[in-house]
Structure 1
Amino acid sequence: MTPKDDGGALVELRGVGKSYGNIRALSGVDLSVRPGRVTCVLGDNGAGKSTLIKIISGLHRHTEGEFLAGGEPVSFSSPREALDRGIATVYQDLATVPLMPVWRNFFLGSELTRGPRPVRRLDIARMKRTADQELRAMGIVLDDLEQPLGTLSGGQRQSVAIARAVHFGARVLILDEPTAALGVRQSGVVLKYVAAARDRGLGVVFITHNPHHAYMVGDHFSVLRLGTMELSASRSEVGLEELTNHMAGGAELAALKHELAQVRGVDTGELPEESDLRTPAPTGAAGTSA
């Protein structure tokens, strides 16, 4: 998949929506994913992040709007179709087997074989060598690829999953809350490899509910709220404080500030004013993201 006449976007959503019967999960979502850029999608529980992932990764079809991959309209019917177009998703559970060695997990489902049919055998030496080379190319150095994946830290397991997706041809990498269950140090490890994937020219979609993690690596920020895009802004248009306010429902807090001020023991000094919550005007697809 290569960008065409859409301004360089690998993946672009234009007014995309998704309904499940009478339930409207997404509405009018614009998003653009460009090579060498991290697009952060933020939102609280129920904001629509999971539905967005499912559409881009091929699990669900959108019911309105346009979904473009490499400038061509698409409507994936399976994750395999998305993967064939270079769109890979790393979910929170990583789709790995903790008791298997690192190298085996790296090639899980895509094992290399050698020898004539019907007695082909696993080419273990080549898989170990390739896994080591690809991990090192991402800056991941493991002393023993034979160790079970489950013995690695959470950040290292996420990093192996990212390197695996890159090796198997991903041009667009969707990361589903990769730092959600990690501590500060391990979150930093994952963010390091998110930046490494961006530097290798991938278009990264970083799904998170943590604005601080997003702001460390993000180039463009999209905040979902109740299935709609509340904020779409590039890094030069929004600061961390404003991003945090939008993520935390700052508009509602601002509207309730005068009522909260009447409650004993509640300090409203740090709550935003409505005038502080400027939202950059939409400029078509959310992807004027540099």
Structure 2
Amino acid sequence: MATNVTKDGAAPDPGPDPAPDEDPVVQLRGVGKLYGNIRALEGIDLAVRPGRVTCVLGDNGAGKSTLIKIISGLHQHDEGEYLVDGKPVRLNTPRDALNLGIATVYQDLATVPLMPVWRNFFLGSELTRGPWPVRRLDIQRMKRITGEELSAMGIHLDNLEQPIGTLSGGQRQSVAIARAVHFGARVLILDEPTAALGVKQSGVVLKYIAAARERGLGVIFITHNPHHAYMVGDHFAVLRLGALELNAAREDVSLEELTNHMAGGTELAALKHELAQVRGVDVDELPEEVTAPSS
């Protein structure tokens, strides 16, 4: 996919998808999840293809977290099918998902703030050298690989010895993305990576999402921000109360329509009708539909 990244960190319009019929790596068919009498998800259809960014949007309580837990192997689905490379699977642990090339980068990033960047890159998967029982960390090799992998993603850090906690939020997210790519991820799930970041740092993260797509990964970008999603997304799924309200390719939905679905345009239209019955409320001054805010 021929998507470039601008120097200011903003990801450009990805354009039309050149291979829309490529077989998905991960596919959900009619997936549902129950917690006792509570239905968290119902009838979820989703396909994640190589070299494409699938954006999953929704407000709090929409079911995004439950969806992440199912795809990442933390929870099992109760209804429907979960397929990887076209074969039905039931994942028992996140390790099962990792073995299939499905990696999740959570908001807390699973990093140790006071450890150097290179130690965090290999955290839990350290390289060693020498014979047993006197094996020791292969520090130079880990530093070299960390630098090479970060550079391959377009991430340039002056000092790999600096504590990862001294990096900006966007840089830490970028290191976590590069780490997942190095350890064999084919599908990368990003849990609200821009939620706590400012505009500039969000641009940094969006740039590396585009870079992961360039390397052929299927990316699931979980977000509540339709503007961030539309900058890098190839496909959009909007969850509301555990069901898909929108499931559309980029060429079939505009930013205004995506924002309208995300903001709950249907419910707001119903609310406007209810307010019309209340004396003293001038509904004529209210918009007919929710539109994207002006830039």
Do both share a fold (TM > 0.5)? yes
Query: How big is each residue's C-alpha offset from its partner over 1:100-159, in whole Å with a ceiling of 9 and x where there is no partner?
Result: 000000000000000000110000000000000000000000000000000000000000
Residue 9 (structure 2) aligns with: none
2:74 pairs, out of 59, 64, 80, with 59
Residue 175 (structure 1) aligns with: 190
Residue 7 (structure 2) aligns with: none
Distance in 2 (CA, whole Å) between partners of 1:18 and 1:7 is 28
The SS at the match of 2:150 is helix
2:84 alignment partner AA: A
Deviation at 1:264, TM superposition (A): 5.0
1:241 and 2:256 are equivalent in the alignment:
yes
Distance in 2 (CA, whole Å) between partners of 1:94 and 1:124 is 22
Residue 138 (structure 2) aligns with: 123
The answer to whether the 8 A contact 1:260-1:268 is kept is: no
1:25 and 2:76 are equivalent in the alignment:
no
The answer to whether the 8 A contact 2:33-2:79 is kept is: yes
Residue 146 (structure 1) aligns with: 161
Distance in 2 (CA, whole Å) between partners of 1:217 and 1:102 is 27
Assess, with a 3 A threshold, how the Cα gap between structure 1 residues 271 and 184 changes in structure 2: closer, same or farther: farther
1:270 alignment partner AA: P
The SS at the match of 2:23 is coil
1:132 pairs, out of 139, 147, 161, with 147
The answer to whether the 8 A contact 2:41-2:242 is kept is: yes
1:73 alignment partner AA: P
1:197 and 2:174 are equivalent in the alignment:
no
Query: How big is each residue's C-alpha offset from its partner over 1:13-60, in whole Å with a ceiling of 9 and x where there is no partner?
Result: 000000011111000000000000000000000000000000000000
Deviation at 1:255, TM superposition (A): 1.9
The answer to whether the 8 A contact 1:174-1:204 is kept is: yes
Residue 171 (structure 2) aligns with: 156
2:213 alignment partner AA: R
5+ residue gaps, structure 2, are 1-20
Residue 283 (structure 1) aligns with: none
Deviation at 1:256, TM superposition (A): 2.2
| Root-mean-square deviation (Å) | 1.6
Report percent identity of matched pairs.
79
Q: Flag as ranges the 4+ runs of structure 1 deviating above 3 A.
A: 258-271
Distance in 2 (CA, whole Å) between partners of 1:7 and 1:238 is 21
Residue 289 (structure 2) aligns with: 272
1:85 pairs, out of 94, 100, 114, with 100
The SS at the match of 1:155 is helix
Residue 215 (structure 1) aligns with: 230
Which structure 2 residues correspond to residues 88-99 of structure 1 after superposition, within 5 A?
88-99=103-114
The answer to whether the 8 A contact 1:253-1:271 is kept is: no
1:70 and 2:81 are equivalent in the alignment:
no
The SS at the match of 2:216 is coil
Distance in 2 (CA, whole Å) between partners of 1:178 and 1:148 is 20
The SS at the match of 2:204 is helix
The SS at the match of 2:195 is coil
Residue 107 (structure 1) aligns with: 122
The count of residues paired between Structure 1 and Structure 2 equals: 269
1:100 alignment partner AA: M
The SS at the match of 1:157 is helix
Deviation at 1:270, TM superposition (A): 3.4
Distance in 1 (CA, whole Å) between partners of 2:157 and 2:127 is 21
Deviation at 1:201, TM superposition (A): 0.2
TM-score, normalised via structure 1 length: 0.90
1:9 and 2:18 are equivalent in the alignment:
no
